[in-house]
Structure 1
Amino acid sequence: MQFIKNIRTASMLGLLFLAGACKDFVDINADPNNPTTPVLELLLPATQISMTGSLRDVNVGASILTQQLYTSNTSRNFQDGTDYQQSWNALYTQVLNDIEIVIREGTRLQRWDYTAIAKLEKAYIYSVMVDLWGDIPYADASKGLTVSDPVFESGATIYDKLFTLIDEALADANKGNFAIQPTTADIIYKGDKAAWIRMGNSLKLKLFNQIRLVQPDKAKAGIAALLSANAPIITTNAQDFAFRFGTTETPANRHPWHRTEYQASKSYYMSQNFIERLFSTDDPRMRYFFYRQTSNYTVGFTPTGNGYFGRYTGDATASPNDNALKATFGVYPAGGLYDASPINNLTAANIFISNSGATSTPKVVTNTDGSGAGVFPFITNAMVKFILAESALTLGTTGDAKQLFQDGITAHLNSVNTISTSSGNSAPTLATATVTAFVANRTAQYDAADAAGKLNAVMTQKYIAQFGNGIESYNDYRRTGLPTLAAPIAPLNTFPLRLSYSVTELSTNGSVSDKADQLQTAQQTTPVFWDK
């Protein structure tokens, strides 16, 4: 790609600043991106840091499209070639390039532990890119600067290659010693071989489920093979494939949503649609997801009058000077504040959202509030449980869909508790009795539903549990149409079925530049290969 040399160094520096948990890797004297002799213990954590940072913009955009966040243009289904350009460029010029170095050098040195991890990261990143953009460069992109105009390959072709790549990685993990030293060179799993094997199998599970509409036999056979072989998958929250952020500002390793919103200026509104979904269904996660800066702010597009002030999707109203009034991120997933202030319009119907212990007063947040020690959940125990429930309901794979539904909800509520009480956060936990009663309440609704309603219940709870990972919610919504989302108030376009390509890529890549406009226009209305 011809633009690599121009933005490579700036990209690395920016991502180290934007991503989390980079404290131990910021003060490196040599540039790990251009080493004379690649140092695997420096390159591997750099890939994990930059992977997390590179996915920031696409994660925000997908969260807005699925009505968990709000910005004006994106919530009106408008996108252009600059919206996700930073993510696209950084993934190709930084993350994937460094991963190829780790794979190459790890293979040469027979350090199969590094090689296995890098291959699994590569498979995960490319699967996300196919899910978001559809057709993308793959084989040519791995060749770096030797190919200036990488050919775009179909998403279906790439998925087939990713299944093979995951199997290669799992085989590599079982070659020789798996001994990452220091263990901090692996930020995510601290060199835990079993954890990476579980991640690889869970990624395969996710991809098989993703293709169930267009390749149902392959999807069912793949999932059945994993289950019948008792292949290790993520089964506890401690095994989550996720990136945990830190608490420091210098160097900056806080959750990016905390950094942008816990200051005077703010980038986002919370989605009023999402707020009201949780409020109307009496979901106790409401106080953990959102923090009110005021107790009662009612305007035309905020009818609740309880201070949970966001905006409805597609609202084209100009933004007034309301940064000190709008609701913002809470303790989960961004490491912000827990909302312990009274809610003034609760009724007797509210069981799980209550004013018990609500003795605080809302405040205008600053960067000294909360810790920023949040999480980017890539593939979690809760997600795996919901995937297995969906598969059982739609493909007939083994597993008790109802139990998996219950386990998925429980797992996520416990994840909220973990973030609430760790790394400098100080939120109260959801009591065991509350968790049990809430799961029982949702189970009663599941039991009362027909087959379609049961799938809706699974996908709705998965959607709520994926707050913080809009990418997966965007995937699920396009695949299932669930949960039902409100129509934008003033849409500028149809709901985008793919994200817009980087305008830089389209203009500089000779393999596509002659049809750039056609390709970009088609992104809005062309489904990815698994979206039937």
Structure 2
Amino acid sequence: MKITSIKTTLAAIALAAVILPGCKKFLDVNDNPNATEKVDPEQILPSAQAAVMHVINSQYQTFGNFWAQYWTQLPNSSQFRSVEQYSSGPADFDRAWGILYAGALTDTDSLIVKQNQARYAQYAAIGWILRAYSFQLLTDGFGDVPLKDALMGTANRSPRYDTQQEVYDSVFSFIDHGLALMDPDSDYHPGDDDLLAGGDMETWIRIANTLKLRAYLRLTEVDAAKAQAGVEALYSDGALFLEDDVTLAYTSQGGNQNPLWAEVVALNTRNQGASSTIMDPLKANDDPRITRFYQLRVDSTTYRSTPQGTFDQIASNIALSYPNSATVLGPTAPGVLMSAAESYFLQAEAAQRGWGSGNAAELYRDGIRASFAFLGLEDDEATTYINSAPAAQWPANPADRIGAIITQKWFAMCGSQGFEAWTEYRRTGYPDWIEPSAASILGPGNMAQRFVYPQTELTRNGNFPGLKPIGERVWWDTK
């Protein structure tokens, strides 16, 4: 089993500077800054990738890690209190929405239009996959979003919204378009300008298949028949899935750091502490990953946490453990597009449901091992954990196995894939011990189930369908 990470440097990430800083065009779903510019795909590809990774590793990461209950607000500040209270408003989501539409998706359009040119067909193939990934990010966060009418520029500044079901249908179609174009033997493919896979089209095929598996499994609770048919078709076609972490390697140089670190720690606003929701089971299972997920405070000799949302119930001098500054919340902490651990857990779920090949228990353990490897821990540490930790045992009762798979996926995603962990919790209800934040304003038993539509849509889109409450479930969330 391969556990090595696919990483490239950020030499080309500065090309995204025309997109990532705040600008007036940036927040309009229909603005297309590159539409009239002659920009080569070699420049557009890293810009698109940087935009997607910026969203994953900034706003989506913050909300995901709080709502998956890895992080909680420190008692001596108020920076994330609205997140803990589930009271975030439209203005809080402007930037992520804008980066995806006016940044990543605009760039993928500029790649896709080159698909009939042999020199750029592989760029277009990657563009289709990034397009699918971006729309899944949008719809998993917001629910219904503009798709068919989006990105039309001045031809339509008030795009209609597509239902989440329609968006998912498009996601599958986009992936199929990308796979149909991919040719690992092509003489023309990206190189260092591909920040995520270095131009290795075999890797992009695995990314596409793994993304498709993720998307079909997202439908298990709303359309099990479609989920099953889609997964079975993947395996029937002999799909290969990721065995490596696909990451973006940030650097310590100005402008190239992990964006969440740049927005939080570098500005001396480090106000995330460890939540007891995960800290307690980490300790109870002697899980060595605790040392990679969190770090001791200089004034503490033990890992400390507090129940989610209890920032106003504990003393301000309690030294809660921070997210780890090397592996999670540091300038060079890698950004994760998809991890090997996630891939194995997806395959384990498919196998356990009887839709995919392979041994579910072995794939489950491979997922745990991949998580340890990603964090720089030794394989013998993973073996000890798998053999002895109660949380790692493969359930004898088949009815408990999906829960075990998702719970171990939740452990693996701590700090690095917060949004995906929260999203999987919404789909499955696992881990089953998560309770709403103590600071919730939504009433007993209620918690955040979606992002709130951004302020820019309220004020600019004539076809805006109206705000959805933060506690209202999205289409696929029926548990």
TM-score higher than 0.5: yes
Supply the distance in 1 between the matched residues of 2:391 and 2:304 (Cα, whole angstroms). Answer: 31
For residue 40 of structure 1, report the CA deviation from its aligned partner: 1.0
For residue 43 of structure 1, report the CA deviation from its aligned partner: 0.9
Secondary structure, counterpart of 2:427 in structure 1: helix
Question: Which structure has the higher relative contact order (CA within 8 Å, separation 6+)?
Answer: 2
For residue 373 of structure 1, report the CA deviation from its aligned partner: 2.0
Contact 2:247 2:337 in 1 (8 A): yes
Which amino acid letter does the alignment assign opposite residue 288 of structure 1? R
The answer to whether structure 1 residue 441 and structure 2 residue 388 are counterparts is yes
Map of 2:25 onto structure 1: none
Map of 1:54 onto structure 2: 55
Map of 1:134 onto structure 2: 143
For residue 205 of structure 1, report the CA deviation from its aligned partner: 0.8
Contact 1:137 1:152 in 2 (8 A): yes
Output aligned runs, 1:32-181, within 5 Å: 34=34, 36-55=37-56, 56-70=58-72, 71-107=80-116, 111-174=120-183, 177=186, 179-181=188-190
Supply the distance in 2 between the matched residues of 1:252 and 1:36 (Cα, whole angstroms). Answer: 25
| Residues 239-282 of structure 1 deviation map (CA, whole Å, 9 limit, x = unaligned) | x333222232x233235237623664314223232222311221
Number of aligned positions between the proteins:
446
Supply the distance in 2 between the matched residues of 1:332 and 1:461 (Cα, whole angstroms). Answer: 22
| Residues 101-131 of structure 1 deviation map (CA, whole Å, 9 limit, x = unaligned) | 1212444576101100111000011012111
Map of 2:212 onto structure 1: 204
Map of 1:458 onto structure 2: 405
Root-mean-square deviation (CA, aligned residues, Å) is: 2.8
Match of 1:410 among 357, 364, 369: 369
Supply the distance in 2 between the matched residues of 1:392 and 1:332 (Cα, whole angstroms). Answer: 34
The answer to whether structure 1 residue 529 and structure 2 residue 440 are counterparts is no
Which amino acid letter does the alignment assign opposite residue 333 of structure 2? G
For residue 206 of structure 1, report the CA deviation from its aligned partner: 0.8
Secondary structure, counterpart of 1:127 in structure 2: helix
Contact 1:498 1:528 in 2 (8 A): no
Map of 2:277 onto structure 1: 273
Contact 2:348 2:359 in 1 (8 A): yes
Match of 1:317 among 306, 312, 321: 312
Output aligned runs, 1:94-493, within 5 Å: 94-107=103-116, 111-174=120-183, 177=186, 179-181=188-190, 183-234=191-242, 236-237=243-244, 240-248=245-253, 250-254=254-258, 256-257=260-261, 260-261=264-265, 264-296=268-300, 306-317=301-312, 325-330=319-324, 333-334=327-328, 336=330, 372-417=331-376, 430-442=377-389, 446-467=393-414, 468-484=416-432, 485-493=434-442
Which amino acid letter does the alignment assign opposite residue 439 of structure 2? A
Q: Structure 1 residues 113 and 309, CA, compared in 2 at 3 Å: closer, same or farther?
A: same
For residue 66 of structure 1, report the CA deviation from its aligned partner: 1.1
| Residues 395-418 of structure 1 deviation map (CA, whole Å, 9 limit, x = unaligned) | 55432111111111011111111x
Structure 1-normalised TM-score?
0.77
For residue 470 of structure 1, report the CA deviation from its aligned partner: 1.2
Supply the distance in 2 between the matched residues of 1:64 and 1:460 (Cα, whole angstroms). Answer: 17
Q: Structure 1 residues 431 and 93, CA, compared in 2 at 3 Å: closer, same or farther?
A: closer
Which amino acid letter does the alignment assign opposite residue 474 of structure 1? W
Q: Where does the alignment leave 5 or more consecutive residues of structure 1 unmatched?
A: 1-19, 297-305, 337-371, 418-429
Contact 2:45 2:127 in 1 (8 A): yes
Contact 1:45 1:186 in 2 (8 A): yes
Q: Structure 1 residues 251 and 320, CA, compared in 2 at 3 Å: closer, same or farther?
A: farther
Q: Where does the alignment leave 5 or more consecutive residues of structure 2 unmatched?
A: 1-7, 21-32, 73-79
Secondary structure, counterpart of 1:282 in structure 2: coil
Contact 1:114 1:180 in 2 (8 A): yes
For residue 42 of structure 1, report the CA deviation from its aligned partner: 0.8
For residue 320 of structure 1, report the CA deviation from its aligned partner: 7.8
| Residues 463-507 of structure 1 deviation map (CA, whole Å, 9 limit, x = unaligned) | 011121111111211111000213322321121221111021122
Which amino acid letter does the alignment assign opposite residue 528 of structure 1? W
Contact 1:112 1:176 in 2 (8 A): no
Secondary structure, counterpart of 1:377 in structure 2: strand
